[in-house]
Structures are given as structure tokens and as C-alpha cells.
Amino acid sequence: MMPGIELFHTLIGLERYEDAYGVFRDHLSNATLWRLSASRQRAELLERLFPDGVETLPRLASVRSQSYTLNSLALAYQYSGEPGRAEPLFRRAVEIDEREKDQGNLAIALCNLSDAIRLSGHLRAAETAAGRTLEICRKQGNHFQEGVSLYWLGLALATCGVASPSAVTLCRSLNIWIAQTDKQGEGLLNTYRAQRCLWLSQPREALPLAQRAWVLAHVHRLERDFIRAARLHAEAALGLGDLTTATERLHHALTRARAVNYVEEELPSLTALAELHRRQQHYDTARELLDQVWTPTERGPYALIHADALNVLAQLERDQGHRETAIAAATKAYRQAWCDGSPYAYHFGLTNARSHLQELSAPEPVMPPFDASKYEPMPEVELDPEDEFHVGTIAEA
């Protein structure tokens, strides 16, 4: 990859932006995004295509190149810990693709937008973006992108605690990847299904899914796949009281996440490690781990992870008999988990915060209700039509 990077910088120095863009697209993009997960280096390269600043368009002639570069830089920001910074770039890519009536690339940009804004706590918009993509893909008969849109939609539903529809949506996506013999996609779906189970307090069901994801990560050996699978395996083990496995898997996930600056997985790994040490009554260590979470969750922002970490802190304060600080932490967790307001709240985080406050005999904070008038209408699209990928009804909690 180094010769490509050197050529890219040389071309930028000569202000040959079109040629530099071609080198990035053809020789550097996949390696920095997938195989190496080198998001920081990716951002540094792509920013050079914006000599007038990233608030402007890249110095490229075609709108397709501009949209591609905006989307690529947004992914670099997201995967290095700044989904909030990624959001406006994704939205600009969406605007270009809509204006050009480029439905295929619009579907890609909307999926990426859905993922980023879900992490930041914009749950209604995340569900809408994924639903719009699903609608586009069904019209185009694009099964690959349909599978992608289904897993982002399933995650958005699961975040809000919508149990059965999220299960059906994720399983339909899994059926698509299996039908296409796509092992990497199958592995991804197992991690997302594991995460859903953990959000529904089902660690026993999450465990085999995370273990299967770890096995499948070895097929293409993409770094983020290994990290996600290890962290979810650890959280499932922690939920089952297997502290030995949880410790090993969490340290593995944390080390690898930090090596590639994958903040999105570093922060939940730190949070789970803090919970593990809290259970072992290593209170000082638990606090030290949580102290590493606060600044990056606020910078992200990562509303869901922030809520989880605050709930761990609330329990830690309760363990040590600190009622007032426990109430403060639980109240803040409640506010973070509220997101757009019920039913578009982070269900797992809100449920835990509410439980803390009830057990502490403290009131829930008054929060603004969900206001549907602020959002575009939700697309009316069938989650599981009766075709070759049909799942049917799943009776789950």
C-alpha cells in the first residue's frame, strides 16, 4: 500500500486531484476501509482532496466522484470515533445522489447515514434512512444492498426494543447472505443478532451467535469483524457469569480496537471491563476504566454507549453506598438513553436507568415527548415478503 500512498501525495502536491482520486479509489480505498481498518490514515488522505476545506466539495469534476469522496471521508470519521462529524458528509452525499437520481449509490449513502446517526442516538432518522434504502433496493431487485439495509433497519428496531420485528428483519438479512454464500455477511449478521440478544438481556442466546461470528471472521480476516465478535463473546460470557472468558475476550477486543483506533468498539469494551471489575469489587479499577469513556462518548457523540457506561457508574456508586451520585449517574443515563423520545428511545439503556432510579426512590427526569411532526414520514415497506428469503413469524421475547 505504501507505493500507492506515496503516489497519491505526489499527485496532490502537483494539484492533480483527479489522478490522486483515481489512485485512492482503485488502490487504497478497500485496504484502508476493510482489510486494515486504517480510518485515521484514510481520513488524512481524503482530506487532501478538499484543499478548500471539508465544508466545501472536493476538488473533483464529476458529481459521482464528489459523492464517493464525501461518503468515503464520512466513513473514515465514523470509524475513528466521530459519527457526529460524519453525519453532515453522509447527508451531502445523499443530496447529490438524490439530485442525480442515482438510486444505487443513494441506497449506499443512506445505509451509511443510518448506521452513523443510530450511534449518535438519532433513532427515528436512522430507522427512516434504512427503510428508504430497503424501499429502493426492492424496486431495483438489488439483493445485496437489501441485505445491508435490512441489518441496519433490524439494528435500529432492536435499539428501540422492538423484539420480534427486529428478529425477523435480521434473520431475513441472514438468509440473503447465506443464499449468496457470503461468509463475511453471515458473520456480520451473527454479531448483530448477538447484540440484539444482549439488548434483550438474553446472553445465553447471544453466546453461540458471537462464537459463530468469530469463526466466520477468519474467512476474510477483516479487522473490525474480529473486534466485534470478541467483544460480543465477552459480553455474553459476562452475562452468564463466566468472568475468565469475559476478561480474556475483552482485553483481546480492546487491544485490537485501540491498534486501529476503532473507537466504536473500544468504548463498549472499556464499559464491559468496568462492569467486570465492579462485580469483582475492584472499584478503583472500574472507575479508571469508565474515566476513559466519558470524553470520547461526548465527542462522538455515542449516546447509546454513554448511557451504558453511566448505568455501570450508577451501579458502582450504589455498591459503595453513594446514593446522591448514583442518582445523578442514573438520571444522566436516562437522559442519554431518551434519544428522540419513546418509542424512539434506547430501550436497554432506558430500562436500566429507570430501574436504578426506582430502586433509589428517585424520580425520573421530565423529558420532551417524541414529536412525529419533526421527522419525514416513515416509508411503508414490507419487512419480510414471501419470496426466497422469507423468514416467517419468529416467536421471541
Write the DSSP assignment of 65-112 as a string of letters. Answer: HHHHHHHHHHHHHHHTT-HHHHHHHHHHHHHHHHHTT-HHHHHHHHHH
At residue 264 the predicted structure's pLDDT band, cuts being 50, 70 and 90, is very high
Distance CA(32)–CA(39), nearest Å, equals 6
C-alpha cell at 100: 442525480
Minimal CA–CA distance to 367: which of 380, 387, 353, 381? 353
- List the single range of 28-32, 279-283, 342-346 with lowest mean pLDDT: 28-32
pLDDT beyond 50 at 397: no
Q: How many CB atoms lie within 10 A of CB 303?
A: 25
CA dihedral 230, 235, 237, 242 (to 10 degrees): 110
Q: CA–CA separation, 163 vs 157, rounded Å?
A: 8
pLDDT confidence of residue 52 = 95
| CA 81, chain centre distance (Å) | 11
Query: Among residues of the chain, what percentage have pLDDT more than 70?
Result: 99
Mean pLDDT within 142-169: 96
**pLDDT at residue 2, as a whole number:** 80
Q: Which three cell numbers stand for residue 70?
A: 464525501
Dist CA 325 CA 318 (whole Å): 8
β-bridge mates for residue 341, sequence order: 344
Q: Residue 25 carries which DSSP code?
A: I
Q: Which DSSP letter does residue 219 get?
A: H
In one-letter notation, the amino acid at residue 20 is A
Q: Which residues have C-beta within 8 Å of that of residue 23, sequence separation ≥ 6? A: 4, 7, 8, 11
Stated as kind and residue range, the H or E segment containing 189 is helix 183-199
Give me the pLDDT at residue 244, please.
98
Would you say residue 396 has pLDDT above 60? Answer: no
| Secondary structure of residue 346 in the 3-state scheme | coil
Judged against a pLDDT cut of 70, whether residue 393 lies above it is answered with no
H or E element in which residue 239 lies: helix 223-239
Q: What are phi and psi of 341, to 5 degrees?
A: 100, 145
For 266, the grid coordinates are 473500544
Write the CA distances from 53 to 28, 57, 90, integer angstroms: 21, 8, 16
Q: Which helix (H) or strand (E) holds 299?
A: helix 294-299
Question: In the chain, what is the straight-line distance between the N-terminal and C-terminal CA atoms, in Å?
Answer: 48
Which residues face 344 on adjacent strands?
341
pLDDT at 395: 46
List, for residues 242-254, the tens digit of each pLDDT value: 999 999 999 999 9
| pLDDT tops 90 at residue 1 | no
Which of 249-258, 287-296, 380-389 has the weakest average pLDDT?
Answer: 380-389
> Domain map of the chain by residue range?
1-101
CA distance 17 to 344: 43
**Assigned C-alpha cell, 21:** 482520486
**All residues at 6 or more sequence positions from 88 whose CB lies less than 8 Å from its CB, including other chains:** none
pLDDT at position 144 over 70: yes
pLDDT, residue 394, reads: 63
Mean pLDDT of the chain: 95
